[in-house]
Amino acid sequence: MSTFNTAMRIVWRHKSYLLIYLVGLSVMMVAMLLGTVGGGARTADGTPSYAPRRAQVAVVDRDGNRGGVAQGLREYLSASADLIDVDDTTQSLQDAVTTNRVDYVLIIPNGYVRNFADKAAQGEAIEPLDTVTSYTSAVGAMANMRVQGFFASLRTAYLAQIAGANGVVAGDIATANAPAAVTDMAKAVAQVVRTAKGPQARTQVKVVQAEGEASRYAKRVYASGLKFGGYPIVASMIMVISLVVGIFGLPETRRRASASPLKPLESSVSLLSACAVVGIGTALYYLALCLGPVGYLGGDLAAIGAGPVLMGAGTMLAYIVVAISIGFVLGQFGVSEGSANGFANIVGLIIVFTSGIWFDPSMMPATLIAVGKMLPGWWYADAIDRALGTGAYLGEAANVAGWASSTALMLLFAFALLCIGLAVGAVRRRRPGTTAAGVTVLSTVV
């Protein structure tokens, strides 16, 4: 059995790591991508649109709908909020607020409408209503602003009603002897609701897509997908490659290999070929996973351009080579499966945490940025941004020279790690007694 086939069988026997680290984590990353980059609403033809979340509002009327105020307020709010029925009990009101079933509760107390009419006619300030606004969202505060707008408009409309009924001008209404008639209040409520629903209340908005906006949006989605792969790629490649290389580095395995007709160079080339196949398969899988959301979120793949797509793919492939190199070094040290598992998670988190992928570099302290620039994750994100004109290079054209320098720096990381791994492997082969034989032999995994 050739070294290549044996290595691939080892990978297949440990496919659970690929399913967990690569497939499982990448699906989670894509879900995050759809929730962050694709958070904005878009129409069926891909045109951006704005659709604010509707507030959940409860209007508790203890004034018997006097003057039609409570019903009018509900109609007024229905255009921007969903009305929720809540029982007028202390327990029900508390439950509705604490469970976030409502964002805003308004209580109209008994006698409020008559008091409102009297205060308005006398030119005095209106007493505020009892309200409860949810602290978990701003939509409750927006609903409160609309309620204040309703009562401000109602005051003006009511003053106009009683001014017309008593034959006085609006400036003299405070001194006029005008009774707070319920019929005038009902007419004022109807006028406010009618005005709010009229065509003049609707602002006509037309979304005009700026030149190049489609390209920038598609590049942003594609770049975000590539960046979100930082952790799944590192964790999966370190884990799988360290297992394969580690098993081939066991004393029992080396003794069997020395008895085979294959030359050591041929065996090493076959092992590296198996690692390359795993890396290329990972690259193709994640590239498809990055390009898929572009079309799903309304972006245009053609708008990205073949050059930026290939540069982004090349950067990801270089990053995979770095991850394979880390796994190669671990395998040469002969770490156990459990240690490799922990190392893959810790190193993957450190690389991504300091890369500026999860946090904007402007929010990171200078010390963390300095550490990030000493790790390959920073240059992975930098190369993607330079290739696609995103992040710190937003709006700029593809910088081929900058992309090439950042990608080449990642490959230098990989080259240095491979040299370390080869040196460790050479020392272990010359001094086999310094390391204990592993408990896992080739026959148990192939």
Structure tokens at 87: 């029982």
Co-location of 295 and 190 in the same domain: no
- 264-270: long-range pairs with CB below 8 Å, 24+: 266/3, 267/3, 270/2, 270/3, 270/4, 270/7
Q: Does residue 155 fall inside a structural domain? A: yes
Q: Does residue 435 fall inside a structural domain? A: no
Structure tokens at 36: 């962050």
Q: What is the pLDDT of residue 165?
A: 56
Co-location of 1 and 89 in the same domain: no
Any idea what DSSP says for residue 45?
A: T
Co-location of 21 and 92 in the same domain: no
Co-location of 83 and 5 in the same domain: no
In the chain, how many domains are there?
Answer: 2
Q: What is the pLDDT of residue 49?
A: 56
Structure tokens at 251: 């004393």
Q: Does residue 442 fall inside a structural domain? A: no
Q: Is the pTM of this model over 0.75?
A: no
Rounded to an integer, what distance in angstroms lies between the CA atom of residue 235 and that of residue 394?
A: 29
- What is the CATH classification number for the domain harbouring 61? 3.40.1710
Co-location of 158 and 257 in the same domain: no
Co-location of 301 and 326 in the same domain: yes
Co-location of 247 and 135 in the same domain: no
Q: What is the pLDDT along the chain (446 residues), one digit of tens a residue?
A: 477 777 788 878 878 877 887 788 778 877 776 666 654 545 544 455 556 678 889 899 888 888 888 898 898 988 888 888 888 888 888 888 778 888 888 899 988 888 888 888 888 888 888 888 877 777 888 888 888 888 888 888 888 887 765 554 444 444 444 444 567 888 888 888 888 776 655 555 555 555 456 677 788 888 888 888 888 888 888 888 888 887 776 666 666 655 555 565 666 677 778 888 888 988 898 888 888 777 666 566 677 888 888 999 999 999 999 999 998 888 888 888 888 888 888 988 999 888 888 777 878 888 888 998 999 999 999 999 998 888 778 777 778 999 999 999 999 999 999 889 888 877 776 765 544 444 444 444 44
SS (H, E, C) 247-303: HHCCHHHHHHHHCCCCCHHHHHHHHHHHHHHHHHHHHHHHHHHHHHHHHHCCCCHHH
CA dihedral 436, 442, 443, 446 (to 10 degrees): 150
Q: Does residue 425 fall inside a structural domain? A: yes
Rounded to an integer, what distance in angstroms lies between the CA atom of residue 364 and that of residue 372?
A: 10
Q: Does residue 257 fall inside a structural domain? A: yes
Co-location of 234 and 353 in the same domain: yes
What distance separates the 2 farthest-apart alpha carbons in the chain? 115
Instruction: Give yes or no for a contact between 83 and 71, defined as CB atoms under 8 angstroms apart.
Output: no
Co-location of 59 and 36 in the same domain: no
Beta-carbon contacts of 388 under 8 Å, excluding residues fewer than 6 positions away, are 219, 220, 222, 223, 304, 308, 311, 312, 398
SS3 of residue 42 by DSSP: strand
Q: Which amino acid is at 53?
A: R
Q: What is the pLDDT of residue 440?
A: 43
- Parent domain of 65: 55-197
Mutual orientation of helices 376-388 and 337-353 as an angle, nearest 10°?
A: 50
Q: What is the pLDDT of residue 192?
A: 86
Q: What are phi and psi of 111, to 5 degrees?
A: 80, 5
Co-location of 293 and 414 in the same domain: yes
Co-location of 6 and 79 in the same domain: no
Q: Does residue 437 fall inside a structural domain? A: no
Any idea what DSSP says for residue 21?
A: I
